[in-house]
Amino acid sequence: MCTFQGQEDLTEMVNKLATDVATHKEALGNAAESFGEMKDEMKVLREQVADLAAMNRALTDIVTALQAEVKELQVKNHTLQRQISVGGGDDRLARVDVQRPAKYNGTRDSRVIDNFLFQVQYYLDLQGIMGDDLQVKTTTILLEGNAVAWWRRKKLDIQKGICTIDTFDDF
């Protein structure tokens, strides 16, 4: 009887193992199917991310181009406003004769310097002198005495690259 009982136990264990194998096989099949679906979804997500990155680069390029265009338009607008304010419009027939400001001789008095710079700026505006380089050159014509000596030293410094005076504001 012992052998018969042993055979039944073995048969029961084999049946249980067969059931467990079938259950695990089904679970592995489900896991493999889920993994395949996730793999497909990941592929779609990667493609979408690549598309979004390309769109982001394109939009960044467009924004950069638009910013440059806006800056250019602002400069043109400013130039046109200055031309109109100094009578550069076509509706004006005669140009106003503007007296040059008094020359600056290098006096170290803040009020004198302030007045000189104000008069020069006003003169440049009335004459319609727009370019930074031309404004600086026109201003230097209005120097005399010690101020001319100062400007000569500054010109040498500019040529050596020690300093820059590119605009009237720098001056």
- Residue 90 located in a structural domain: no
pLDDT band at 94 (very low <50, low <70, confident <90, very high): low
- The predicted pLDDT at position 46 comes to 96
What tokens appear for 137 in the block? 């050159």
Nearest to 101, CA basis, from 131, 142, 157, 154: 142
pLDDT of residue 90 exceeding 80, the answer is: no
Residues 67 and 30 in one domain: yes
Q: Between 170 and 120, where is the model more confident?
A: 120
How many independent structural domains does the chain possess? 2
Residues 66 and 130 in one domain: no
Q: What percent of the chain is predicted at pLDDT more than 90?
A: 28
pLDDT digits (tens, 9 = 90+) for 103-130: 888 888 889 989 988 998 888 888 888 8
| Residue-number span of the structural domain to which 117 is assigned | 96-171
Same domain membership, residue 76 and residue 39: yes
% of the chain exceeding 70 in pLDDT: 92
Q: Are residues 72 and 103 in the same domain?
A: no
Q: Which residue in 25, 9, 45, 128 sits closest to 80, CA to CA?
A: 128
Q: Is 50 helix (H, G, I), strand (E, B) or coil?
A: helix
Tell me, what's the pLDDT at 15? 87
Calculate the average pLDDT of the chain. 85
Q: Which of 61, 85, 109 is the last residue of a domain?
A: 85
Domain boundary among 37, 64, 85: 85
Question: 68 and 113 share a domain?
Answer: no
> Rg of the chain over CA atoms, in angstroms?
42
pLDDT at 170 over 80: no
Residues 78 and 4 in one domain: yes
Boundary (domain end) residue, out of 32, 58, 85: 85
pLDDT of residue 39: 93
Tell me the Ramachandran region of residue 107: left when phi exceeds 0, alpha when psi lies from -120 to 50, beta otherwise: beta
For residue range 42-52, list pLDDT tens digits in order. 999 999 999 99
